[in-house]
Structure 1
């Protein structure tokens, strides 16, 4: 019976089992990593063993002020993401609610979102210089367009029956927007923001590749130049840990804001 439940689509499993399975994935990854490195199947220059990466991580935190690099990257990503969200969320809601807004804006956003943010770095440097504004602009640019389009899709998926019923009950157009569309789409918007924050972190190395003196992306690129593979892996792991913490925070916020939807989040 337990096996059948585990393989049943959409069926819930116990929280301890969920945590155990999640931890098992990381343990399995560590076992594979250890097997490949300690057996010398992969040279240390390409993939150092776990104990070497651990020593490099301790060294980075104690002697090379990795916390300052972490803070610099967190600030850049957060500012870029917040600026993108402040513009993209209202715009996406308008595009998902009003066909005239969708016709005016959606084709342009769909056109630009296929352009890689890295291709615009020379323009951002020309327009904004090589300071913090340029790095934040790369993250904003990479996050804004897909975020706006995903919010549009979430808003468009609000059931038409709810809107039609509201009009039947005499609710005004503005009232339908405020009392039906926004509340119905808000859970999906929060979940979309959680996913988009992950995208923002994927642009970090690209944003810090030019004229940066701090940040995780800068540290990773400097380590690559001097073949310090252990430092590169430490930087990647730190970004992953930060991502997990952000994801957990968004899921906690989702559960607190929308308790009737269960644990929520995709």
Structure 2
């Protein structure tokens, strides 16, 4: 009898998270080295690209309160509160709307045109209307971020309903389960992976809209700090603010990924 030919092993192996993290660290180090080299050699004027030392100096001054402005923690706290409040409100409202859109043709017919109409609009397009309707206090800032988070959360929840098995839903109905029980025990667990992806996208949109939201008569916030510095051509403060906003947004995304692994550990392993 012939021996079975050994199966060929794939030349492509799934890389672990450790190797990916190492590549990311190397990439960041290379970018920092290029930034340092370009500014030290004077290839770009400081007005267009400040040196890492200048940005670090501004970070230290804002961190210690030595800058001619509010301390960094006040700007950071104000921005985090605005984004967090808007995100939580959007999550509480958009997920039920998305689930209802996925389960009801009537709700989908009512809400889908509205979502698809305003979703592609840039926040600056309807910012004047929000100011006219809501004034210039904290409400328009939170509302603008809320609207940027609502659409991706609702659409993600609607798409997640399609993951629910019709057999499981029919079995739940046949066993006497009510609508809320079907949603809680069948639809919501099946839609949870999509909802978590929508949460990651929504929190990113929220931070993207932060600068536009803090254009509305804000006197504190990371976006306001960047806008105020840009008016005086303080690119070192602008770059420092951009790096802080990016770092906080990355931290939120990391927390979302950790939450995703805890709530849906089976995702990607089926």
Show the counterpart of 1:5. Answer: 12
What's the C-alpha RMSD, in Å, of the aligned pairs? 2.4
2:145 is paired with a residue of what secondary structure? helix
Distance 1:228 1:5, change over 3 A: same
CA distance in 1, matches of 2:264, 2:159: 20
CA distance in 1, matches of 2:176, 2:189: 15
Cα deviations by residue, 1:218-253 (Å, 9 ceiling, x for unpaired): 000011011110100111111111112111211222
Task: Work out whether residues 223 and 229 of structure 1, in 8 Å CA contact, stay in contact via their aligned partners in 2.
Answer: yes
Task: Work out whether residues 255 and 263 of structure 1, in 8 Å CA contact, stay in contact via their aligned partners in 2.
Answer: no
CA distance in 2, matches of 1:51, 1:263: 45
1:182 is paired with a residue of what secondary structure? helix
Show the counterpart of 1:61. Answer: 63
Show the counterpart of 2:117. Answer: 111
Report the structure, 1 or 2, having the larger helix content: 1
CA distance in 1, matches of 2:269, 2:204: 20
1:241 is paired with a residue of what secondary structure? helix
1:259 is paired with a residue of what secondary structure? coil
Cα offset for 1:141?
Answer: 1.6
CA distance in 2, matches of 1:14, 1:146: 29
2:266 is paired with a residue of what secondary structure? helix
Structure 2, unaligned stretches of length 5 or more? 1-7
Show the counterpart of 1:219. Answer: 225
Show the counterpart of 2:3. Answer: none
Task: Work out whether residues 160 and 190 of structure 2, in 8 Å CA contact, stay in contact via their aligned partners in 1.
Answer: no
- Equivalent residues in 2 for 1:5-24 (5 A)? 5-6=12-13, 11=14, 13-24=15-26
Show the counterpart of 2:104. Answer: 98
Distance 1:173 1:99, change over 3 A: farther
Given the alignment, which residue of 124, 127, 134 partners 1:121? 127
Q: How many residue pairs were aligned?
A: 258
CA distance in 2, matches of 1:228, 1:94: 48
CA distance in 2, matches of 1:163, 1:56: 58
Structure 1, unaligned stretches of length 5 or more? none
Given the alignment, which residue of 248, 262, 266 partners 1:260? 266
Cα offset for 1:171?
Answer: 5.4
* Larger Cα-atom Rg: 2
CA distance in 1, matches of 2:251, 2:266: 24
Normalised by the size of structure 1, how large is the TM-score? 0.88
Task: Work out whether residues 96 and 102 of structure 1, in 8 Å CA contact, stay in contact via their aligned partners in 2.
Answer: yes
Cα offset for 1:76?
Answer: 0.7
Cα deviations by residue, 1:96-118 (Å, 9 ceiling, x for unpaired): 12222111211121112122221
CA distance in 2, matches of 1:60, 1:78: 23
CA distance in 1, matches of 2:161, 2:31: 39
- Equivalent residues in 2 for 1:33-48 (5 A)? 33-48=35-50
Cα offset for 1:25?
Answer: 1.9
Show the counterpart of 2:53. Answer: 51
Distance 1:217 1:176, change over 3 A: same
